Amino acid sequence: MPSHFDIAIAWDWEYDREFVSLLEHAAQARGLTTHAVSPSILQETLAQTRGGEYTFSVFLDRASDTDERFLPFAQAIRLTPTRIVNTPEAVRHAADKATMHLEFLTQGIQVPYTLIISPYNERQEVGISLNDLARLGRPFIIKPANTTGGGTGVILGAETLRDVIESRQHHKNDKYLLQEKIEPAYVGGGTAWFRVFWAFDSIIPCWWHPDSHVYRAVEGSAIEDSLAPLKVITRAIHDVCQLDFFSTEIALTRQGKFVAVDYVNEICDMRLQSSHPDGVPDQVVMKICDSFADFVKSYKSQALSAADSNYA
């Protein structure tokens, strides 16, 4: 007889173990059933999914973007009515920083001054003048539009046109962004740089240092009120990227402007701070897990109501 699970979670990174366990605990506390798919049971689960023995309501994929062994499983689930968290189409759209930059501008989201240059394999000439470069200031930032997971290919202290010419040789099929370096303000003795999570309609801001990558939870209603623009901007970013779960980086400049400095991180690093100094505060991870479980419970309820209506 077929087995139905409310949630399937594909994962392959050893440091996701705690996060997946907390997700399952939050879901099961709400009466939801879960099936965590690690590499050790991948092939068995794939066969049972293809054969209709396993069905799922919601699928969270934290594996197929880095481990091609999971691609057939993700593709098999796409052939079913399962609700997919962060669809592949939305992820591809959000991952292109050049596209996000232009769409953010259209939506009135503040972004750093940026020049976008074509892939080297399309146009070998950089196509910008020294005057264009001067507007960026020094130092400036160079980043490929699509190949930036974990900071891959990003240069934070670029100074010259030669830096641009040499950098774009590394990812010749990718567009490049040249961005002014944002200088954050200091608020309450700390750097006003934030990583904000959008987690299934919940917005969770954190202090985040761009050099150490150390998080600090935003606590206190007065502080949250003063940082209200973070939530407005993050909601606007969600409207652009249409992802269910992502993070973004936003800085408060010395001129008092909130600027989106790194647009959409579509696969969030969920290592816990209690185990890793640069991990996400444990209470924030728990909020994300609770939001996910509430999202699935609501989705399941709506699906049952729709099914009852169809039978009525």
Asked whether residue 139 falls in the same domain as residue 173, the answer is yes
Same domain flag for 132 and 54: no
Burial environment of residue 181 by CB neighbours within 10 A (0 to 12, 13 to 18, 19 or more): middle
Q: What is the mean pLDDT of residues 248-254?
A: 97
**Of the residues 180, 210, 232, the one at which a domain ends:** 180
Rounded Cα–Cα distance for residues 287 and 260 (Å) = 23
Q: Is residue 209 part of a domain?
A: yes
Do strands 202-208 and 193-199 pair parallel, antiparallel, or not at all (unpaired)? Answer: antiparallel
Instruction: Look at residue 123 and tell me if it is in a domain.
Output: yes
Average pLDDT over residues 29-57: 97
Neighbour-count burial for 74-91, b at 16+ CB within 10 Å, e otherwise: bebbeeeebbbbbbeebb
Same domain, 122 and 66: no
- For the cut 60, the answer to whether the pLDDT of residue 148 exceeds it is no
pLDDT of residue 310: 59
Of the three residues 129, 146, 180, the one that is the final residue of a domain is: 180
Q: Find the distance separating the first CA and the last CA of the chain, reported in whole Å.
A: 26
Tokens (6 digits) for 274? 């209690």
Q: Is residue 19 part of a domain?
A: yes
Is 93 part of a structural domain of the chain? Answer: no
Rounded distance, CA 88 to CA 211, Å?
30
Determine, yes or no, domain membership for 301.
Answer: no
Residue 308 pLDDT greater than 70, yes or no: no
The domain boundary residue, chosen from 132, 159, 180: 180
Residue 256's contacts (CB-CB under 8 Å, 6 or more residues apart) are 185
- Are 209 and 265 contained in the same domain? yes
Look up the pTM and report it: 0.93
107 phi and psi, to 5 degrees? Answer: -90, 5
Range with lowest mean pLDDT among 28-32, 131-135, 252-256: 131-135
Tokens 């934070």 belong to which residue?
Answer: 156
The helix/strand/coil state of 6 is strand
Tokens of 124: 């070998």
Give the Cα separation of 265 and 281 in Å (integer).
Answer: 17
Range of the domain at 64: 3-85
CATH number, domain with residue 275: 3.30.470
CA 263 vs. chain centroid, Å, equals 9
Structure tokens belonging to residue 15: 């440091």
Q: Does some domain include residue 103?
A: no
Amino acid letter at 3? S
Within this chain, do residues 170 and 210 fall inside the same structural domain, yes or no?
no
Number of structural domains the chain divides into: 3
The answer to whether residue 272 sits within a structural domain is yes
More confident residue, 157 or 238: 238
**Structure tokens, 278:** 């640069």
Q: What is the CATH number of the domain that holds 36?
A: 3.40.50.10140
Domain identity same for 122 and 217: no
Residues 213 and 259 in one domain: yes
The H or E element spanning position 183 is none
Instruction: Quote the DSSP letter at residue 305.
Output: H
Mean of the per-residue pLDDT values of the chain: 93
Contact 202, 210 (CB under 8 A): no
- Say yes or no to pLDDT of 136 above 90: yes
